Structure 1
Amino acid sequence: MNISVLTLFPELYKPFFDASLIKKAQEKGLVSCHTNNLLSYAPPKSRVDDTTFGHNAGMLIKPEIIDQAVTAGETALGTAYKIILSPQGKVMTQPRLQELYERIKDQKHIMLIASRYEGLDARVESHYADELVSVGNFVVMGGDIPAMLLIEGLLRFVPGIVGKEESVQLDSFSGAFVDYPEYTRPIVWKGVTVPEIIRSGNHAAIESWRQEQAAQLTVKKHFNWLRSVSTTQAERTLVKKYIPHHYVALMHNDMMLKEGRIGPTSVTSIDIHDIARSSTTYGLKNFFVVTNLKDQQKMVQKMLSFWVDEKIGGDYNNKRHHAVLSVRLENELDDVIMAIEKKEGKKPLIIGTSARQQDAQQAITYFDQEIVWQHDRPVLFLFGTGSGMSEKLLQRCDYMLPPLQSYYDFNHLSVRSAVAIILDKWLGVALQK
């Protein structure tokens, strides 16, 4: 396989190609690496770049420079599969990287085009690119470091380059879990001892420990990666073990009312049924209905008594019966907190939700599970009814999620819909390639 790079800075690649496994791969004849200097195709006293149309800042490499460099590279090494490093490309993940390797592994010539300045004329990308690749949602000074990253990632799949093929198969992000922790001598270093179990010689116990550690690290540090890939039943069992326990409370006390007052709201049976089903679907331990109105409590208790009865509610609709078993009725938020603390041994962290934008220092996003889960405490989602929770309730939240938004102006979700969406955004699977 020939790898060539069109670049303005070929000197960056000499130490890269002359070191480590890439150098050994070339010595074995597994790969041949080349650079092609774009400056070679600019006439004397002229530039390789030009200003963009439309008064934008920055310069673009001229299309004819790329055209000449591609022609010269293919004349020397044969027709190329051309990869352009571009923010318009798909962001590389380990599965996507492996898919890309499978597409190119039989190609005799792989050409990477590393731009600089503001990038390449859009016509160059559409005309030449067999693949547009981005190495991440961030900006660097040019495509050379991304090109090197891509070369290293792809060459790991070439048989014979990495010493042990098993180490490639077990790479972080190749499966559901990242790597488990590894240790070497000395046994004690800076007061930290290598875990006894991995020094025991018990291979079954060591493998079990490694799986547990990998699952725990992935859930706590890379949950958004984990939810993007397919998992086996055994892996899902491990995942559930390390996701902190979550709860939902639907508040009917201290609500904002349409008249601008603060007061109670009525409980609706459809909210109880639908939120119970959402809570059970996403593995929440309990769904609390919170109201201090006695007549509302009687209504809720009557409904629950039907559905929690295995013979009556269970026979009528067993799945609904199973979901409603998680529902608990409480007077006040403090009662909910006490019930969770009694069950878990720790007070819950409270995550507030609101349809109104909150200017809060404790604001988090739907990708910030690590921030919340690092506290090692149960999590309580707080949802309001009426026109939303009062400031008194909002002040009790440790964190606030942003309002649910779309690209359209209408925004009037029912609370049961909001609960389902938020639980999915926080705990649901979102498969990607």
Structure 2
Amino acid sequence: MRNNIYTALVHYPVYNRNNDTVATSVTNFDIHDISRTCRTYDIKKYFIITPVDAQQELTKRIIDYWIEGDGIEFNKNRNEAFENTVLETSVQSAVEAIYKNEGKMPRIITTSAKIFENTVSYEDLGKEITTDENPYLILFGTGWGLTEEIMNMSYKILEPIRGKTKYNHLSVRSAVSIILDRLLGEK
């Protein structure tokens, strides 16, 4: 069922280039661009996940501007894009919010540049999520990727996005757009 798909941009826990677990900074571009992409593909909620107080405050201010502030009149399309953008402090709190809303635990899908035992193709997952009644939460990592702890929560892991070169460092907002189109775009 396409009306029970959620996404989350995880800022903690993620790895840095030294494989340390860190919290990354929320960026204005990711808030805006991913909100617009999620609205385009009719994602039920887009969670921005950060436990950092200053990052939560900044993110809340940006969201509130478009939902409750002057942004409503300034750009109605942006206001509409932000209607389903939500701030959460952890992956677990996002899972709990989905459970509260759906009455079922979501199937967690993660993304990675690596192949795992439970890696799934876009075609297979796209078919599954459009017919399955369970809610799905697609997690996107920042920094150098989602931690092992988060990856171990996965029901399935999407295959990596591959171009025609060895270079593989898309911005997360580009990856979200590509992945949602592959899963939910016109066939």
Q: Verify same fold: TM over 0.5.
A: yes
Q: CA deviation at 1:290?
A: 0.4
Q: Name the count of aligned residue pairs.
A: 186
Unaligned runs of 5+ in 1: 1-241
Which whole-Å CA distance do the structure 2 matches of 1:243 and 1:275 have between them?
A: 18
Which whole-Å CA distance do the structure 2 matches of 1:319 and 1:373 have between them?
A: 26
Question: Are the aligned partners of 1:244 and 1:379 in contact in 2 as well (CA < 8 Å)?
Answer: no
Give SS of 1:347's match: coil
Please state if 1:341 is matched with 2:106: no
Q: CA deviation at 1:346?
A: 1.0
Partner of 2:45: 286
From 108, 111, 123, the counterpart of 1:367? 123
Partner of 1:262: 21
Unaligned runs of 5+ in 2: none
Paired letter, 2:75: N
Q: CA deviation at 1:315?
A: 1.0
Give SS of 1:253's match: coil
Partner of 2:62: 303
Q: CA deviation at 1:409?
A: 2.4
Please state if 1:419 is matched with 2:141: no
Give SS of 1:367's match: helix
Please state if 1:331 is matched with 2:89: yes
Please state if 1:248 is matched with 2:4: no
Question: Are the aligned partners of 1:251 and 1:290 in contact in 2 as well (CA < 8 Å)?
Answer: yes
Partner of 1:321: 79
Q: CA deviation at 1:312?
A: 1.2
Identity, in percent, stands at: 37
Question: TM-score w.r.t. structure 1 length?
Answer: 0.42
Question: TM-score w.r.t. structure 2 length?
Answer: 0.94
Q: CA deviation at 1:335?
A: 0.5
Please state if 1:428 is matched with 2:185: yes
Partner of 1:397: 154
| RMSD, aligned α-carbons | 1.4
From 408, 417, 420, the counterpart of 2:165? 408
Which whole-Å CA distance do the structure 1 matches of 2:140 and 2:87 have between them?
A: 15
Which whole-Å CA distance do the structure 2 matches of 1:287 and 1:333 have between them?
A: 12
Q: Which structure is higher in RCO with an 8 Å CA cutoff and minimum separation 6?
A: 2
How do 1:40-79 residues align onto structure 2 when only pairs under 5 Å count? Answer: none
Which whole-Å CA distance do the structure 1 matches of 2:138 and 2:99 have between them?
A: 15
Which whole-Å CA distance do the structure 1 matches of 2:128 and 2:176 have between them?
A: 21
